[in-house]
Amino acid sequence: MRKIIFVSKYFKPFYLTLALLLFFTATGCDAITSDDDTSFQVKFENSQYSEYSITSIQVQEMGHVENSQPSGTWSGNILPSGTSIAPGEYVFFELNIPNGHYDVYRIGVNDGTGNQLMLHEQTGAGNWSNPTITHWGADNRTCSATLKLNPSSGLIYISGWSDNAGIE
């Protein structure tokens, strides 16, 4: 009898750990986070390597991260009126995207002569894929875009972008 008490005393933490592991495995990550949590903060950076100031950001709901087709329409400019993000600068704003979902975005710039230009509306721009803002892994996000001029086509384009959990 004494041996059984000795063995069970050391195995209690094991059984508790096993029960917790089975609980979280069976319920998945939804036990920790909820799709109902929608509002989160975004730090949007215009890369220091950009050649243009961002004057407009429009977003479109895409739904769950496994979706590749839009589930919403394009918004208007989500930047406050008169806001411009110069190369190397950033702004903070809130978005309402359910946890585990994402939006795509498109950008408007000052073309250097004072004209406001949406990149996707340039003649010859084609059907570019749009970068993302994802509500995944944290309730805040750091997104960045680098805007360049293609000298051969004359088009302004997003040469690079990032979408990372957390505020950097």
Q: Which fold, 33-165? A: Immunoglobulin-like (2.60.40)
Under 8 Å between Cβ of 122 and 107: no
3-state SS string for 56-79? EEEEEEEEECCCCCCCCCECCCCC
User: Residue 2 is inside which H or E element, if any?
Assistant: helix 2-27
CA atoms within 13 A on the CB side of 154: 3
Which residue, among 164, 28, 33, 37, has the nearest Cα to 98 in the 3D structure?
37
pLDDT value at residue 129 = 76
User: Is residue 121 pLDDT above 50, yes or no?
Assistant: yes
pLDDT value at residue 28 = 42
pLDDT value at residue 36 = 54
Task: Please tell me whether residue 138 adopts helix, strand or coil conformation.
Answer: coil
Share of the chain above pLDDT 90, in %: 55
Average pLDDT over residues 127-152: 90
pLDDT value at residue 22 = 45
Task: Please tell me whether residue 161 adopts helix, strand or coil conformation.
Answer: strand
pLDDT tens, position by position, 70-81 = 888 999 999 988
Output the pTM of the full model: 0.75
Provide the phi-psi class of 111: left if phi over 0, else alpha when psi is between -120 and 50, else beta.
alpha
| pLDDT confidence band for 90 (50 / 70 / 90) | very high
The CA distance from 4 to 137, in Å, is 44
pLDDT tens, position by position, 46-71 = 999 999 999 999 999 998 988 888 88
DSSP per position, 10-66: HHHHHHHHHHHHHHHHHH-GGGTS-TT--EEEEEEEE-TT-SS-EEEEEEEEEEETT
pLDDT value at residue 78 = 94
